[in-house]
Amino acid sequence: MEKIDPRKAFGKAVSEIAGKNKDVVILSADSGGSSGFGEFSKAHPERYFEFGIMEQGVVGIASGLATTGKVPVFCAIAPFVTARPFEMLRNDCGYMKQNVKIVGRNGGITYSDLGATHHSLEDYAIMRMIPGMVVLAPQDPSEITAAAKAMLEYNGPVYMRIGNEPQEVFLQEKQFEIGKGQVLCEGSDMAIISTGLMTAKAVKAAEKLRKQGIAVQVVGMPTISPVDREIIVEAARKTGRILTVEEHYTEGGLGSIVSEVCSEEYPVPVKRLGIPKVYATSGPYEEILSFYGLDVDGIVRAVRESLPGMEYGNG
């Protein structure tokens, strides 16, 4: 099956919407071409603004443009649009409730070979702490397209994380609903709740586990905040135990959110699979995922280790 660059899928989706909505403007910090806006910058130079490497200033300018009725979209490398300008995101966008769209590309460890400075493993945690900030992590190219549309229709600040590794389309095209998850595989032995690029691997892991006699429910969660509390509680009630899978630190992200919901609504064991809180190693992307147990076999192993009498290798 053909794989699609998520950055190109995103750039194409936003450019098509911007072609019809003249209020949409694109902001770049020396990253427009890599973010998929090369054609847009040529077709609409009056709505494309290049600022160079000054992400803090770009966020402030985006907030100012929003006060005039524009819909600014600022896309660049994920840690440089979240960690670097956090104060401006918190005060200019969040506190002022501005209609600004921030997109972190090369999220997680997908900028694998450039090392820890270019990894974004805390973005879910810090962005969800901004009151009113919507945090999205679409799971395949078709969902990126749908999420881009929903993001631009939503009135308020939004952060979306996308990767850069080419991805297969595995989800059916449908309207993206902010704040809603989806059951992708049925099962009652355990629930896997995943987000972003990890969901495709979670589905493959569930298929592998089914052949071993283990029926796992998979819940895809493309909205980190506001999270779908109802679907989390339903998964907890049905299966009695949950594994969260994310390309993020195990602390502060989806795993912490699911644990918070379960502790308040329906307590069950929650195992969090992600990156430990270290400066992650560098190297080929798939090898790093395998090193941290975030490949298909790693997810299978985590499920089996969480089920009594189902240690890895016994099935």
Does residue 88 sit in the same domain as residue 201? no
Across 213-222, average pLDDT: 98
d(CA 200, CA 59): 32
Does residue 146 sit in the same domain as residue 210? no
Across 259-286, average pLDDT: 96
Give the pLDDT score at 1. 66
Percentage of the chain lying above the pLDDT 70 cut:
97
CATH number at residue 86: 3.40.50.970
- Contact by Cβ (8 Å): 260, 226: no
Give the pLDDT score at 41. 79
- Contact by Cβ (8 Å): 35, 75: yes
Does residue 102 sit in the same domain as residue 196? no
- pLDDT tens digits, one per residue of 68-121: 999 999 999 999 999 999 999 999 999 999 999 999 999 999 989 899 999 999
* pLDDT higher at 3 or 72: 72
**Residue range(s) defining the domain that contains residue 193:** 182-304
Does residue 226 sit in the same domain as residue 113? no
- Contact by Cβ (8 Å): 209, 303: yes
CATH number at residue 244: 3.40.50.920
* 139, 168, 197 - which closes a domain: 168
- pLDDT tens digits, one per residue of 134-178: 999 999 999 999 999 999 999 999 999 998 888 888 898 899 999
d(CA 17, CA 40): 11
d(CA 270, CA 64): 42
Q: How confident is the model at residue 308 (pLDDT cuts 50, 70, 90)?
A: confident
Does residue 314 form part of some domain? no
- pLDDT tens digits, one per residue of 14-66: 888 888 899 999 998 987 667 678 787 788 889 889 888 899 999 999 999 99
Does residue 35 sit in the same domain as residue 129? yes
pLDDT at 313 over 50: no
Domain count for the chain, please give it: 2
Does residue 173 form part of some domain? no
Does residue 229 sit in the same domain as residue 92? no
Query: What's the farthest any 2 CA atoms get from each other in the chain?
Result: 63
Does residue 176 form part of some domain? no
User: Quick check: pTM over 0.85?
Assistant: yes
Does residue 216 form part of some domain? yes
Q: What is the DSSP string of 30-99?
A: S-TTTTT-HHHHHH-GGGEEE--S-HHHHHHHHHHHHHTT-EEEEEEEHHHHHTTTHHHIIIIIIITT--
Does residue 229 sit in the same domain as residue 267? yes
Does residue 151 sit in the same domain as residue 37? yes
Does residue 225 form part of some domain? yes
Q: How confident is the model at residue 314 (pLDDT cuts 50, 70, 90)?
A: very low
The average confidence (pLDDT) of the chain is 93
